[in-house]
Amino acid sequence: MASTRLPRAHASAPTGPPSAGPEAAPYSTVELVGRFQRMLQAQERSPCTVKQYGHIARTFLTFAQKPLDEVTLRDLESYREYLVLQRHYSKNSVYTTVRGLTCLFRSFGLAVADQLEPPRRPERLPRYLSEEEMHRLLEAVRDSPRDSAIAHVLAFAGLRVSEVCHLELEDIEFERNILHVRSGKGDKDREVILEDRSRAALDRYLAGRPTDGARDRRLFPVGPVTVERVVRRAAAAAQIPRRVTPHMLRHTLATTLLSRGCDIRYIQKLLGHASVATTQIYTHVDTNALRTAYQRAKPEY
């Protein structure tokens, strides 16, 4: 089994990122990956990222069969070639792998992976639902207060799954009809509008929620898998033939707002995008808005 070397000085203090040195004790792949994942957890990375990066680290170390501090750039490039030529990884998968390996080496004070270039990811247009499909989906969960509240928050506030799972009761500001999203992607807080139907769905859900003071303070004490299952079941009940994910509801909100004339800067703020360049992908999706804008501004030659 592959091993890595960690400095003896850090062996009893696993909370800080160690730096490799000549005096090192061997650690098994299992021990190294476990330590790496604990570092990611300490950085408050999402459970999905912790699991994914742990798998990337484990798979690479099994391939390399050498201590982490002896890995060269050529080793990393050979692994990338192996993934593309023999494992037939997509550009997106190779990109994620390079990001994970860069994080792994940096976590242990090694810079060799900084020189490993990730591929340019293809720009794919987001998939979304029509307004009529979204209406059917929301109707499909009307009889379940919890599922209805979750679906309405996804559909009208545009939250990510992780943000829905981390919402707390105190994050609802009923007086202003505002949801406070704490530490969203990039550790950025933001406020989103609590639309009237979402407010009504939340009121109904909270009216039947246990009031035991020892209960979970999260608004929805569920995990990402449960949220995904709620949306998948609702889509099936609504007879939507394609696979529907929670993120599609976020895309649907952005696309619908844009088609109805909402300024893209407000959509950026609502979704919590760091740059408007990320939000601009929706301008390529809505051809009706593009056609309207073109007709309004086209030259008269």
**Is 174 in a helix, a strand, or coil?**
coil
Residue 250 to residue 227: CA distance in whole angstroms: 13
Q: Which pair of tokens denotes residue 265?
A: 């800067």
Q: Which pair of tokens denotes residue 21?
A: 């040195």
Catalytic positions: 160, 185, 247, 250, 273, 282
Question: Which amino acid, residue 134?
Answer: M
Question: Which amino acid, residue 154?
Answer: L
Identify whether the C-beta of residue 289 lies closer than 8 Å to the C-beta of residue 257.
Answer: no
Q: Which pair of tokens denotes residue 282?
A: 């929706």
**Is 181 in a helix, a strand, or coil?**
strand
DSSP 95: H
Cα–Cα distance list, 115 to 20, 36, 53, 94, 102 (Å): 18, 20, 19, 15, 9
